[in-house]
Amino acid sequence: MSPDPDHLPHDPEALDPEDILWFSYDWCSLPWTPWVSFSATKEEFREIPKEPGLYRIREAGKDFLMYIGETRRPLHQRLHELRIELARADRMPWSDPHAEAPALWAYQSERPHDGKVEGPQDSCPGDSPEGEPAPAPLSGYECSAAPLDASGAGRRGMESFLIYRYRQEYGASPLCNLGRFHPRYRSSGTRNGGFRGGKLGEEQKDNPAGGPSLLPLVAAGTPGAAGWMGLSWSGREPLVEEKCRDAPAGAGLFILSDAASQEILYIGQSGHCADRLLEFSRKPWDGRELQFSFHRMEGAVLPHQLRELETDLLGNFFGQYRKAPEYQFRNSR
């Protein structure tokens, strides 16, 4: 079931982070900081550490997460720049350098507020250049962070694990992760691309990325086994062109493994599974021989829903082995 952004199941005054697993300060055994408002003073925002790691964003008074992310940059700098970008934007931000900024901005724009400007307090010099519009209300966004001394692949693996655990516990993905978006907005592209997103016209159809979140896969079995996560995996075949052409033409999930050791090296998804596997068959893979196995999706499935299922698989893999598949995030820094 997809969370209703306007659903308020609890009295806001009664919400306690310790009462909700994904809000707690030791969620998934990480040392999370207290929750800090996006409109906090510089002194208050010092709760956010200056090391790389993971972060989560919520809206005060709600019982779900808006976003879970990771960064190789100092968490304090990363989140401070995000709140400044949201606070002073009169138009939807670009999707770089903060991939979650457009979606957060879209939900922020739809929130009722009392008309007061509530940008970050005591902003640093240069945060609001002369001539820019007044900052927009931040609609009660709050963040919490956890430093993590890990490689880029390690951080991204843990990010996948956190989203997986959240989906297991809450029953849906964070509203702004995995390509999810507000149904009545289209997203901005990159700054170089030059396409600025915004609200859709009344005559325009909803953004498909605003569609429902798929229920999480049931945690079951061992990665690579025939019934792993309750899915029907095909037998393993050599990752060569003639075999890849026999894979499903439509949407699916797939696993790539080392033919000699049977170790899983990559977990993926595609709306055109056979084409994607064909692309992978043409890569060198450091001279190793690989095999593939796939699960074919039945019926229509949205891109963000495929990413949800892929993340369930990655998160379960990380939870069992405490690492990501070798080639999954190989270029991460």
Is the model more confident about 107 or about 19? 107
Residues in CB range of 138: below 8 A, 6 or more apart: 37, 38, 39, 83, 86, 87, 108, 118, 119, 120
What would the mean pLDDT of 207-229 be, rounded to a whole number?
A: 95
Query: What pLDDT score was predicted for residue 200?
Result: 97
Which residues, in sequence order, are CB contacts of 291 under 8 Å at separation 6+?
Answer: 236, 237, 238, 239, 256, 257, 258, 259
The model's pTM = 0.89
CATH topology of domain 228-321: GIY-YIG endonuclease (3.40.1440)
Q: Mind listing the pLDDT tens digit for each residue in 21-66? A: 999 999 999 999 999 999 999 999 999 999 999 999 999 889 999 9
Query: Is 250 in contact with 273 (CB distance < 8 Å)?
Result: yes
What share of the chain has pLDDT > 90, as a percent? 78
pLDDT in the model for residue 2: 39
Q: Does the structure show a pLDDT above 70 at 136?
A: no
Listed range (123-137, 218-232, 268-282, 286-300) with the worst mean pLDDT: 123-137
| Distance separating alpha carbons of residues 180 and 303, to the nearest angstrom | 9
Q: How far apart are CA 258 and CA 239, in angstroms?
A: 10
What are residue 39's phi and psi, to 5 degrees?
-100, 20
Place of tokens 């010099």: 125
pLDDT tens digit sequence for 303-314: 999 999 999 999
The continuous run of DSSP H or E covering 157 comes out as: helix 152-170
Does residue 119 surpass a pLDDT of 90?
no
pLDDT in tens, 221-247: 999 999 999 999 999 999 999 999 888
* pLDDT of the residue at 130: 38
pLDDT of residue 193: 93
| pLDDT on residue 204 | 97
Compute φ and ψ for 31, nearest 5 degrees. -85, 75
Widest pairwise Cα distance in the chain = 64
pLDDT winner (highest mean) among 15-19, 141-145, 249-253: 141-145
Give the mean pLDDT of 163-180.
Answer: 97
Boundaries of every domain in the chain? 12-149+181-210, 228-321
